[in-house]
Chain A
């Protein structure tokens, strides 16, 4: 619990000082042909791959299904893929409208942007609402 807070603080510090945002990376590439922010996404892919592959040699217990693409888990259910596509489409649209992916909105909230605090209030209420009321409905619709 405390470690998660500490890791979050480190990530938040780096996120503030680099203005890292996944949405801005793709948007700037499409709209302005700026590559700098998009390199952040390349960086997270590269860093994750290097980290996962080297540390899975040191501590293989924690990475039981590391290269998932070698296991059979791939393309399990059509409904899950549909949920992923719908969810990420919505996330993309909303992130562009509010000018920041959810991570960036947390960083903005920490640096004193009251608009993003309003956004986050809606965000957390949305999570509570989904768990309490929508989860069973969605699971019953997307159960094919």
Chain B
């Protein structure tokens, strides 16, 4: 029914969607902030805490649900392609997976971007992010070396 998309075209589509949503949908308070796996849940949690403590809400702290949208979108896609199947939990790795997720969030908040926004920021012309790309590639390289042992 639907064709599978090649990663190259998917990347181009992503870039165009991010640019479009910054231009016309009002994601203007940060550079290239249309989608960020780290930043959007952080803003959502800022928003929730500011409601719970009934403190003053910043103008730009909006509840951004794009990460949940991604889960929804991939759920729809897997249903459309009829590939939806439940992968069971590996009980031996349960805590490790949880801890790695925790650590990923902490490291992501150190850097204040997720890998996708890293590359979008580079296309936006932010050269600070080059250090991030060097670090990311180095991290992948190190992890490959460690896992081969």
Q: List residues of chain A with CB under 8 Å of any chain B CB.
A: 1, 3-20, 22-23, 25-27, 30-31, 36-37, 39-52, 54-56, 58-59, 61-70, 73-76, 80-81, 83-98, 101-103, 105-115, 118-131, 134-135, 138
Contact = CB atoms under 8 A, between A and B. Distances in A.
Contact of B66 (A7, A61, A83): A7
A43 B116 contact: no
B89 A118 contact: yes
Nearest to A126: B105
Contact of A130 (B2, B109, B142): B109
Interface of B: 2-26, 28, 31-32, 34-35, 37-38, 40-42, 45-46, 49, 62-78, 81, 83-90, 93-94, 97-112, 114-116, 118-120, 122-129, 131-144, 146-147
A121 B101 contact: yes
B5 to A, nearest CB: 4
Contact of B7 (A3, A16, A39, A110): A39
A16 B34 CA distance: 19
Nearest to B7: A40
Nearest to A56: B23
Given A4-B69, A17-B4, A37-B7, A84 B128 contact: yes
B73 A89 contact: no
Given A11-B70, A106-B67, A112 B7 contact: no
Contacts of A84: 110-112, 128-129, 131-132, 135
Contacts of A119: 97-98, 100-101, 104
Contacts, number: 440
7 contacts: A4-B65, A12-B73, A27-B140, A51-B19, A81-B128, A111-B77, A127-B45
B7 A5 contact: no
B114 A103 contact: yes
Contacts of B132: 84-85, 87-88
Given A59-B23, A112-B78, A126 B106 contact: yes
Contact of B118 (A22, A63, A121): A22
Given A67-B125, A94-B107, A127-B38, A43 B12 contact: yes
A110 to B, nearest CB: 3
B104 A94 contact: yes
Residue of B12, B88, B138 with most partner-chain A CB within 10 A: B12
Contacts of A91: 104, 107-108, 111, 114-115, 136, 139
Contact of B23 (A14, A55, A76): A55
Contacts of A67: 125
A122 B94 CA distance: 11
B127 A69 contact: yes
